[in-house]
Amino acid sequence: GLGYRQINYRLRDAIFSRQRYWGEPFPIYYKDGIAYPLEESKLPLELPEVDKYLPTEAGDPPLGRAKNWHTEEGYPFELSTMPGFAGSSAYYLRYMDP
């Protein structure tokens, strides 16, 4: 039979980022345009499910499509994520911090 050439991409991060299609979320939210860190008691920040892994029409990352990507008070979280390799590359820094 005849076949056809097809490329399938399974873009997933390393185990460090728990097999997400993106990296780790920054625990930052915005209130009146000012960035604030999320309280330590509210960590880890869990990424929501999204329908499409495409940028929004406005050019925002896929998290811009998530309807519940905000704090309990309604302040939006950071839309960008850290690439999977960034966490594993900076892992040694934790051991240098007493």
Per-residue pLDDT of the chain (98 residues; tens, 9 = 90+): 688 888 776 655 454 444 455 677 889 999 999 999 999 999 888 888 878 878 888 888 888 888 899 999 999 999 887 766 666 666 666 666 66
Is position 30 within any domain?
yes
Please, is 27 exposed, middle or buried when counting C-beta atoms within 10 Å of its C-beta (0-12, 13-18, 19+)? middle
**Interacting residues of 64 by C-beta distance below 8 A, sequence separation 6+:** 55, 56, 58, 79
* Residue 29 and residue 77 in contact, taking contact as beta carbons nearer than 8 Å: yes
SS3 content of the chain, % helix, strand, coil (to 5): 20, 15, 60
Domain that includes residue 88, residue range = 15-96
Q: What was the pLDDT predicted at 65?
A: 87
> Rounded to whole angstroms, how far apart are CA atoms 85 and 11?
13
Rounded Cα distance, 53 and 81, in Å = 13
What total number of domains does the chain contain? 1
